Chains A and B, each alone.
Chain A
Amino acid sequence: GAVVSQHPSRVICKSGTSVKIECRSLDFQATTMFWYRQFPKQSLMLMATSNEGSKATYEQGVEKDKFLINHASLTLSTLTVTSAHPEDSSFYICSARYEGGNTEAFFGQGTRLTVV
């Protein structure tokens, strides 16, 4: 199956700093990528939909100025958590899909962010 690579897998940062998470589709072109957030022992909540070459679409309640999403190419989307705070600590997962049809989404390995 298609491979989505997410980096880093774990990151610890200090409060007030920014962290960038990369999501790459390794063997296919993904016009659309999705960013999810998962709190401990909870389900995945969609944060935003990332469209190549245009602005991301954020879900209600997600601060777009805090969670900056850039989708500069058909194989790369980045999520930057700006001015991170301990409450931003979470598991962030990206996914990407082929164009067209009801195909499954391919998920990255996830990034565990810990803000201290």
Chain B
Amino acid sequence: GDSVTQMEGPVTLSEEAFLTINCTYTATGYPSLFWYVQYPGEGLQLLLKATKADDKGSNKGFEATYRKETTSFHLEKGSVQVSDSAVYFCARTDTGRRALTFGSGTRLQVQP
């Protein structure tokens, strides 16, 4: 079935460091891919998305490119800030239905 695999956290970085959070997905159907962010005690907010191969989603300095050949959608940011500390979820649309399948989430901790 559909699945999404994320790198395990927590990821701890210093402010202004480069961030990469790996995400791979099962290659069933033609999914749309998403990154959501969850701040402590809150729901999920869409960070960025890509709907087809080679699309690049970007928002707030974060980027991810839909790579069909490697079934990946890695999240990157060139210079993280303390305010980026949160849990990041990679997700894909389910094949045949309209729910989302989520990765396990990666906690990012940015230290000043």
Q: Are B98 and A32 in contact (CB under 8 A)?
A: yes
Question: A114 to chain B: closest CB distance in Å?
Answer: 13
Q: Are B44 and A93 in contact (CB under 8 A)?
A: yes
Contacting residues, chain B, for A97 (C-beta < 8 A): 98
Chain B 8-59 interface residues, beta-carbon cutoff 8 Å to A: 31-32, 34, 36, 41-46, 49, 51
Q: Are A43 and B93 in contact (CB under 8 A)?
A: no
Interface string of B48-76 (1 = CB under 8 A from A): 01010000000000000000000000000
Q: How far is the CA of A102 from the CA of B94 in the complex (A)?
A: 10
- A100 closest partner in B (C-beta): B98
Contact of A43 among B34, B46, B49, B102 (CB under 8 A): B102
Question: A49 to chain B: closest CB distance in Å?
Answer: 6
Determine which residue in A32, A107, A108, A112 has the highest number of CB atoms from chain B within 10 A of its CB, and name it: A107
User: Interface size of A by Cβ–Cβ distance < 8 Å?
Assistant: 22
Determine which residue in B89, B93, B100, B107 has the highest number of CB atoms from chain A within 10 A of its CB, and name it: B100
Q: Are B51 and A102 in contact (CB under 8 A)?
A: yes
Contact of A107 among B44, B51, B98 (CB under 8 A): B44
- A47 closest partner in B (C-beta): B99
Contacting residues, chain B, for A93 (C-beta < 8 A): 43-44
Question: A39 to chain B: closest CB distance in Å?
Answer: 11
Evaluate whether A109 and B42 lie within 8 angstroms (CB atoms) in the complex, with A43-B105, A46-B99, A102-B93 already known. Answer: yes
Question: B25 to chain A: closest CB distance in Å?
Answer: 14
Contacting residues, chain A, for B41 (C-beta < 8 A): 112
Interface string of A87-116 (1 = CB under 8 A from B): 000000101010000101111111010000
Q: Are B46 and A104 in contact (CB under 8 A)?
A: yes
Q: How far is the CA of A32 from the CA of B101 in the complex (A)?
A: 16
Contact of A49 among B93, B98, B101, B103 (CB under 8 A): B98
Contacting residues, chain A, for B102 (C-beta < 8 A): 43-44
Cβ of B81 under 8 Å from chain A: no
